[in-house]
Structure 1
């Protein structure tokens, strides 16, 4: 068992992988005092038709909630549900997700949003259509990540094909707002970005993270940038998570458990491929400590 620090109390946390089965692209949140992980069910696209979730009160025992949202409850989704991102606002829980793996504006799909009264769902499609259904600035509409800033403004970061956009979300979390210049979609792509955006805030500074490399290969990894604005500019600092030939390969597309106090423990939750696996879809949920240096830099994560 590894350990975590809660005040002056030390408690064990589960060994990696955290759960049985193949899962990927985890979002990590703390809801109602419990730790929640919302991942992709990792399978061939035509089988990837639902979301499970995992929760824990102590990081040691993880409980599975099955099918919090499935394709039968999404009228416009036909295949390939993945990369969910969750958030709570006003007593409601919102789950942003992508479906159909569209390759151009001639196809129908993109990023949707579902809503529930509880973190475990069941979630229902809130719009009966995608929230974002077209390509903007070259970004495939996939891999959403939702972030609410201290001033209450909610942002959705998303994008594949080496382009990342950010949009403002409306107060009801179901629509898109506009920026001061009148635009809706703002490209913020940092150097070497591929997909899987993630935003956290620490000490008044914004840390924007993303996945690099190919998701099906061993070199999948996580890099980051720092900025004084949620809109950037974001200049790449470097990698913080990568394969370890003694542990696992393909480590990437992550979420972060943000502590209530900044001097608390930060945990990065990610997927990786066991050394014994060659199937691209054989990915496992894992978690490791994420530490910061004296200058606020994110230190390289040691996989355990």
Structure 2
């Protein structure tokens, strides 16, 4: 009898071990450009629905208490509630302010100042929405400093000031959001959009603060190719100047390709850092076949980010 129980234990041991890690991808479906964030005791991920541009007319969100089990929140926003958007809803970025949740998103993939689209902002009372268009028009609808208005990231500085960092086509801008997120305040020199493009920048900006330093991260390479990757720079201010340090996330031909367009979350109590990103499963040829994954991100003694090892296992269970 004891022998049978021992054999049974050995059989279920791999299942128990697997249940303690997230696995990659962390939830099913084609999803890209994930922004991960913590609200209270819950992890949230807001990705792009990865499909043909004309099918990208909504966004889903996912929540988890432990990084293992994820709940899907369907259609937190769609083009029915954003009258000026009709396709290519991309790269959501979210923040909480004064009891409201503000979701910044790109739409329509505009190619010039003569088209309707750009970066919008929506608002909701809960992180799962439903989100409604705040302005009834794009927040940014022009190419400033040659930056395509996509891939926005809302960043809260130490002094409470909110910034929007964004840009495609190898140009990145930073702009100072006003208090109700309906527009922008000017910088002291009278400008509204400051270019902070580091060497190698393509798209997918993200920023965080660690030990008083500003870490600015972005994606490089073509998003449909295997060499899509993430690099970073460090500065003493969100305005830079940012000097490129190097790549920290890229493909592993034995695991997955096209690892890029990421975000970072931090468990401050345990000082654990996670990178959430998309990648393409091996053998997939469709550019839109991207999945959302998570892996551990660490630093060396000098505060530089160690190269991330992309895994099939993901990360261990972690409740906040």
- The match for 1:88 among 92, 96, 121 is 96
Q: CA deviation at 1:69?
A: 0.1
Cα offsets for 1:173-193 (capped at 9, x unmatched)? 222111111100000000010
* Residue of structure 2 in register with 1:132 after alignment: 140
- The match for 1:116 among 115, 118, 124 is 124
- The match for 1:230 among 221, 235, 238 is 238
Cα offsets for 1:36-67 (capped at 9, x unmatched)? 00000000000011000000001110110000
- Pairs within 5 Å for 1:162-241: 162-241=170-249
Structure 2 stretches lacking a partner, 5+ long: 1-13, 312-320
**Could you say which structure has the higher helix fraction?**
2
Q: CA deviation at 1:258?
A: 2.2
Report if the CA contact (8 A) 1:225-1:238 is conserved: yes
- The match for 1:287 among 294, 300, 310 is 294
Q: Which has the higher contact order (CA 8 A, sep 6+)?
A: 2
Which has more radius of gyration?
2
- The match for 2:260 among 224, 239, 252 is 252
Structure 2 Cα separation of the partners of residues 226 and 299 of structure 1 = 14
Structure 1 Cα separation of the partners of residues 143 and 283 of structure 2 = 37
* Residue of structure 2 in register with 1:78 after alignment: 86
Q: CA deviation at 1:150?
A: 1.3
Structure 1 Cα separation of the partners of residues 157 and 166 of structure 2 = 16
RMSD: 1.1
Structure 1 Cα separation of the partners of residues 183 and 126 of structure 2 = 21
Q: Is residue 41 from structure 1 mapped to residue 67 from structure 2 by the alignment? A: no
Structure 1 stretches lacking a partner, 5+ long: 2-10
* Residue of structure 1 in register with 2:77 after alignment: 69
Number of residue pairs the alignment of both structures matches = 294
Q: CA deviation at 1:297?
A: 0.2
* Residue of structure 2 in register with 1:303 after alignment: 310
Cα offsets for 1:132-161 (capped at 9, x unmatched)? 000010000000001101100001100000
SS of equivalent to 1:13: coil
Superposition TM-score, scaled by structure 2 size:
0.90
SS of equivalent to 2:169: coil
Structure 2 Cα separation of the partners of residues 170 and 295 of structure 1 = 35
Cα offsets for 1:209-257 (capped at 9, x unmatched)? 0000000000000000000001100110000000001000000000111
SS of equivalent to 1:46: helix
Report if the CA contact (8 A) 1:22-1:282 is conserved: yes
- Pairs within 5 Å for 1:90-109: 90-109=98-117
Superposition TM-score, scaled by structure 1 size:
0.95
Moved segments of 4+, more than 3 Å = none
* Residue of structure 1 in register with 2:284 after alignment: 277
